[in-house]
A and B are shown apart, each in its own frame.
Chain A
Amino acid sequence: MSGESGLRVLVVDDELAIRRFLRTSLQAHGYVVYEASSGEEALVEIVNKRPDLVVLDIGLPGIDGIEVTQKIREWSDLPLLILSVRDQEKEKIAALDAGADDYLTKPFGVGELMARMRVALRRASKPSDEPVFTSGDLLVDLSKRLVKVGGEEISLTPTEYDLLRILIQESGKVLTHRQIIHAVWGDAYQSEAHLLRVNISNLRKKIEKDPSRPTYIVTEPGVGYRLRVVEG
């Protein structure tokens, strides 16, 4: 289950208890863990310790998580996970739009944390030039614009296909509404949020077994959507 041995993680949170818990869990998985308790410290430690991934609390004193994200993204593509609290939708979205890869809502379970970390690290190490994407019963051949569910070919409208493609490109990661609209329709359509809703709805009806209990296209309430990679 490891294979993460030796990977370096920087944990940034002003709460000692949370840093302690993360250190213990991550070390158990073979990560090398560094800590920082403020945004300023984090920026210094990133340069000094050169981590492979940063877990960053949004609500930091001094410069907050969003600003830290912006600053990091000025010169690095380093995988960044945001820790946020419920009802901080606006801040979450701002951090994601600023370049954070994914988020976790406190309190979270270790399983969730590991899953998100893995996705973020995979993205960084392996560019997605795989033409064929599979998740459960879903198969998409990007080179041929072919989509199959349970072996059966299904036809999507160009918009629906583009939407699916964007989700696949960042599979496992959350994409904000803004990011998706920007990629599929262009920024001029940021105010036409209903287009996104309707197309997601139609896409689900075509590829999900039960569109009311979707397994592939997962909604992140108030934030965006995520394409889940399901085993077998």
Chain B
Amino acid sequence: MDGISRIDTLKKRIERWIHSSKFFLPYLFGFLIISLITFLAYFIRDRITPTNLVMPYLLGVVSIAVIWGRGPAVFASVLGVIAFDIFLIPPYLTLVVEDTEYIITFLAFFIVGVVISNLTARIKQQMVETREREARVSSLYHLSHELAAAYSLEDVTRAIIGSVSHALEEDVWLFLTEQNAASNQVPRFQLVKTKAAQPREVDEAVLYAYQTGEISGYGTLTYNSSETTNLPLVTKSGVVGVISISSKETERSFTIEQVQLYEAFANLAALAIERVYLNRQASEAQLLKAKEEIQTALLNSVSHDFRTPLVTITGTLSSLDSEIHLLDKESQREMIRYALREAEKMNRLVSNLLSMTRLESGALSLQLEPVDVQDLIGATLQQIENRITGKVEIQIPDDLPLIYADFVLVGQALLNILENAIKYSPEGSSIDILCTCSDRMVYIEVADRGYGIEESEIPKIFQKFYPVKDKSGRSGTGLGLTIVKGILDCHGAELSAALREGGGMIFRMGFTQYAIDDRSCSNVG
């Protein structure tokens, strides 16, 4: 333990010596170079005019200025003049000069030396500044590049924190006001993201920046004893947040360039965050618009589809009421039958609307039970018996397994498909129902000889309000098939529609076989 700590202190002492000697080393080198030049010039001083001997000194001073900067170079200039005077100008080894012209040389040499030192030093400094500026610009570019690709608030805040803390090599904290506050609540202002080891609370300096939209904290006029510099993120709609940058690593003074860089980061961040918020508003507005459109379509559709049957009902009943003496028995019965049929149509419409509403609100609770498909088909056909005009062929294998489903709902789905088939087929045309099973799935196919639809329209028919007008101009609310899809989706069942060879459509439902039922049927035909 003792030995290790002794080595540590020794190491520290050497480091400190090297660190402080760094300051003196250039001057030492300056001295050595001037000495070297003087030494070399000494040997040729008789053969070369002294004024020409100034050149190597100047060269030396320039080199020192380039390598070590202004201080050592000026020192070298002074030393050079003195050495030049003592060793190369007669009388040697004295500062006195015989020929007073040499004074001009001394002066010139000295002035040039100092000027060159300064210029060189300035060039060096400018190079450093340019490199720094480049680094700043590149970090801004990097941030703006990342922000351009970021879409969610999460991505944007992550990009900001990442780029800024990387570029500045400081800890960064991002405070934002939460966006989803209800309009009667004051939105909360809180820490959203940071890469620092410690999160921070909103302190007075940060709050000041947020409330006034002015920079605060270290290096500014307000709260300058704070540990961080706080930049408000200002957008058109006000201050959306504050980016808080620690000043730990900042040994450098808080230069104008530094402040400008911080502000540039803050501006980029503010813009990006504003963009995210605006996007959100836009998509919410879009959703609202779509919802309203659907509601309008629903109202229009319902209004039309209710009014139409009512026209017949009101018409026929009022006729029977006031003009019954004009109608013979048969016409009377006809009127009554029309009214009855239209009333039934309205009843179906109400049922469909209710089902649709239930499906959409998720209020549909399935009463699942084992269901015999033949039973289902029979019960459903019974319900539309009086509307079937053509032949219905049913093919079911004897050993078709049971399915697990809600009898009433699946019955309704089948009913809607059959209604669809009847509505969009010419009178008297046939309907075929085929049941098969394979791979523990039971399939029910309803095929009609109707007018069919365009192949490209097929995927759309299950959409809400998809209007299909048949040849006679009759149209429905466009909900029937949507309900079928909704019911089957609740069951996790398959649904497909396709054109039928020879004309018409085939609708196919696929259900999972009831688990207990282990049969696998021998398919018919």
Q: Identify the A interface with B (CB < 8 A).
A: 86-87, 89-90, 107, 193-194, 197-198, 200-201, 204-205, 211-214, 218-219, 221-222
Answer whether A89 and B372 are a contact pair too, CB < 8 Å, given A194-B517, A212-B377, A222-B367: no
Asked if B372 and A107 sit within 8 Å, CB to CB, the answer is no
CB distance B379 to A194 under 8 Å? no
B398 touching A213 by the CB < 8 A rule? no
Cα(A198)–Cα(B375), bound, Å: 10
User: Which A residue sits closest to B409, measured CB to CB?
Assistant: A222
Residues of A near B398 (CB, < 8 A) are: 205
Inter-chain CA distance A107–B514, complex, in Å, is 34
CB distance from B371 to the nearest CB of A (A): 7
Which residues from chain B contact A219 at a C-beta distance below 8 Å? 375, 378-379, 382
Q: Please, could you name 11 A-B residue pairs with CB atoms under 8 Å apart, sorted by A?
A: A194-B402, A197-B402, A200-B372, A200-B375, A201-B372, A205-B398, A212-B396, A214-B378, A219-B379, A221-B408, A222-B406
**Chain B interface residues (CB < 8 Å from chain A):** 343, 347, 351, 354, 358, 367, 369-372, 374-375, 377-379, 381-382, 394, 396, 398, 402, 406-408, 411, 514, 516-517
Q: How far is the CB of B294 from chain A (nearest CB, A)?
A: 23
Taking a contact as CB atoms closer than 8 A, the residue among B347, B367, B372 that contacts A197 in the complex is: B372
Instruction: State whether A213 touches B381 (Cβ < 8 A).
Output: yes
| Cα separation A193 to B408 with both chains bound (whole Å) | 16
Flag if B378 contacts A193 (CB, 8 Å).
no
* Closest CB in chain A relative to B419 CB, distance in Å: 16
Q: Which residue of B lies closest to A195 (CB)?
A: B370
Which residues of chain B have C-beta atoms less than 8 A from A212's C-beta? Answer: 374, 377-378, 381, 394, 396
* Chain A, residue nearest B433 (CB): A212
* Residues A213 and B517 in contact, CB atoms below 8 Å apart: no
Cα distance A222–B405 when bound, in Å? 11
Contacts of A197 in B (CB 8 A): 370-372, 375, 402
8 Å CB contact of B370 from A87, A89, A193, A221: A193
Of chain B, the residue at the smallest CB distance from A106 is: B347
One of A107, A201, A222 near B408 (C-beta < 8 A): A222
Given contacts A87-B354, A194-B516, A198-B372, whether A213 and B408 have CB atoms under 8 Å apart is: no
> Given the complex, which residues of A lie within 8 Å of B378, measured CB to CB?
211-214, 219
Assembled-state Cα–Cα distance A90/B343 (Å): 26
How many Å lie between the Cα of A136 and that of B256 in the bound state?
A: 105
Other-chain contact of A222, B370, B402, B407 (Cβ < 8 Å): B407
Q: How far is A213 from B411 in the complex, measured between Cα atoms in Å?
A: 15
Q: How far is the CB of B376 from chain A (nearest CB, A)?
A: 8
Contact B379 A201 (CB under 8 A): no
Closest to B347 in A: A107
What is the bound-complex CA distance between A87 and B408, given in angstroms?
8
Complex CA gap A107/B349 in Å reads 13
Contact B370 A194 (CB under 8 A): yes
Give the residues in chain A near B347, CB-CB below 8 Å: 107
Contact A211 B374 (CB under 8 A): yes
Contact: B351 with A193, CB < 8 Å? no
Residues of B within 8 A of A193 (CB): 369-370
CB-CB nearest 10 A-B residue pairs: A219-B379, A194-B370, A222-B408, A212-B394, A197-B372, A201-B372, A221-B408, A221-B379, A221-B411, A193-B370
Measured between C-beta atoms, what is the minimum distance from A190 to chain B in Å?
12
Max chain B Cβ within 10 angstroms of own Cβ: one of A198, A213, A221: A221
- Measured in the bound complex, the distance between the Cα atoms of B372 and A200 in whole Å is 9
A221 near B407 with CB under 8 A, answer yes
B382: A residues at CB distance < 8 A: 213, 218-219
Q: In the complex, which residue of chain A has the Cβ closest to the Cβ of B400?
A: A201
A213-B396 Cα distance, complex, nearest whole Å: 12
Instruction: State whether A201 and B374 are in contact (beta carbons under 8 Å apart), knowing that A194-B517, A212-B396, A222-B407 are contacts in the complex.
Output: yes
Residues of B within 8 A of A221 (CB): 379, 407-408, 411
Residues on B with C-beta less than 8 A from A204 are 374
Give, as a whole number of angstroms, the nearest-CB distance from A126 to chain B. Answer: 28
Question: In the complex, what residue of chain B is closest to A196 when comparing beta carbons?
Answer: B370
Find the A residue at minimum CB distance from B393.
A212
| Nearest CB of chain B from residue A196's CB, rounded to whole Å | 9
Min Cβ gap A161→B in Å is 19
Which single member of B407, B408, B514 contacts A194 (CB below 8 Å)?
A: B514
A201 to B398, CA, bound (A): 10
- Further 17 A-B residue pairs, CB within 8 A, beyond A87-B358, A194-B514, A200-B372: A86-B354, A193-B370, A194-B370, A197-B375, A198-B402, A200-B375, A201-B372, A204-B374, A211-B374, A212-B378, A212-B396, A213-B381, A214-B378, A219-B375, A219-B382, A221-B379, A222-B367
Complex: how many Å from CA A218 to CA B367?
20
Residues of A within 8 A of B375 (CB): 197, 200-201, 219
Alpha-carbon distance A193/B396, docked complex (angstroms): 21
| Interfacial chain A residues near B370, Cβ < 8 Å | 193-194, 197
Residues in A whose Cβ lies below 8 Å from that of B379: 219, 221
For A90, A193, A197, A198, the residue with the greatest tally of chain B CB atoms inside 10 Å of its CB is: A197
Q: Cα distance A198–B369 when bound, in Å?
A: 13
Q: Which residues of A contact B381 (CB under 8 A)?
A: 212-213
Q: Residues of B contacting A218 with CB < 8 Å?
A: 382
Chain B hits for A211, CB < 8 A: 374, 378
User: Given that A194-B402, A221-B408 are known contacts, is A89 also in contact with B367, CB under 8 Å in the complex?
Assistant: yes
Closest to A85 in B: B354
**Complex CA–CA separation, A89 to B364 (angstroms):** 13
Determine the distance from Cα of A221 to Cα of B407 in the docked complex, in whole angstroms: 6
Q: List residues of chain A with CB within 8 A of the CB of B371.
A: 197
Q: CA separation between A107 and B411, bound complex, in Å? A: 19
